[in-house]
Amino acid sequence: MTERITKSMAKNIYYGGGMFALLIFFGLTFDTVKQIPERSNEIAMSHSVVAGKALWEKNNCVGCHTILGEGAYYAPELGNVFQRRGASDESTFKGYMLGWMAAQPLNTPDRRKMPQFNLNEEEVNALSDFFIWTSKVDTNEWPPTIEG
Ligand code: HEC
């Protein structure tokens, strides 16, 4: 006798399989959301970090740069600029940032230019704090190279 799948068996497979996949989906979503506060290190999100993020948006830095991969591909990735240009030392990096922002635009021939934003010291330091905070987000080691 050949075995056949009856309509009700097919229905059970459909609903049972669907429920099973949904449960896995919700479980993994819950697990991811639960990890966010620790991975993003949100406890270190000071007023200065928030102010830096606001300046990042107001000046449309993302119109040329990427940050953790999001943004435009005209200029370098800045998610790890703290390690790249500050050797992971806060005062070295803040000094570098003040110099870099003040020196724009560098008129080096055949090199892309970054505009002058005329930001004051406090604003540049806030941007530095934002980059320092971003560099400490647990991104599973992304970006893969120090050059972005
Ligand atoms: C019009 C495009 C443009 C905008 C907008 C822009 N940048 Fe840039 N930025 C560049 C370019 C191009 C470079 C690379 C210049 C070079 O290497 O000579 C650069 C480089 C940098 C670097 C050095 C990165 C490195 O690895 O050496 C920092 C830091 C930086 N930008 C910060 C900012 C911040 C902060 C803002 C917003 C306030 C901003 N940029 C907005 C084009 C831009």
Q: What digits encode the pLDDT tens for the residues 69-109?
A: 999 999 999 999 999 999 999 999 999 999 999 999 998 99
**Residue 99 CB less than 6 A away from ligand 1:** no
134 vs 36: CA distance, rounded Å: 13
pLDDT band at 120 (very low <50, low <70, confident <90, very high): very high
Encode pLDDT of 48-71 as tens digits.
999 999 999 999 999 999 999 999
Provide the whole-model pTM: 0.89
> To the nearest 5 percent, what fractions of the chain are helix, strand and coil?
60, 5, 40
Helix crossing, 90-103 with 121-135: angle to 10°?
Answer: 130
49 vs 79: CA distance, rounded Å: 14
Q: Report yes or no: 106 and 113 within 8 Å, Cβ to Cβ.
A: yes
pLDDT of residue 3: 81
**Residue 49 CB less than 6 A away from ligand 1:** no
Query: Side chain identity at 43, as an amino acid letter?
Result: I
Q: Report yes or no: 60 and 75 within 8 Å, Cβ to Cβ.
A: no
Query: How close is the Cα of 78 to the center of ligand 1, in Å?
Result: 8
**Residue 74 CB less than 6 A away from ligand 1:** yes
Annotated domain spans of the chain: 1-39, 41-148
Query: How close is the Cα of 49 to the center of ligand 1, in Å?
Result: 18
**Residue 64 CB less than 6 A away from ligand 1:** yes
**Residue 54 CB less than 6 A away from ligand 1:** no
pLDDT of residue 104: 97
- With 70 as the cut, is the pLDDT of residue 1 above it? no
Distances (CA, A) of 71 to 64, 75, 87, 110, 116: 7, 10, 24, 23, 20
**Residue 106 CB less than 6 A away from ligand 1:** yes
Superfamily of domain 41-148: Cytochrome c-like domain (1.10.760.10)
- Closest atom of ligand 1 to 106 CA is 18
- Closest atom of ligand 1 to 113 CA is 12
**DSSP assignment letter at 41:** T
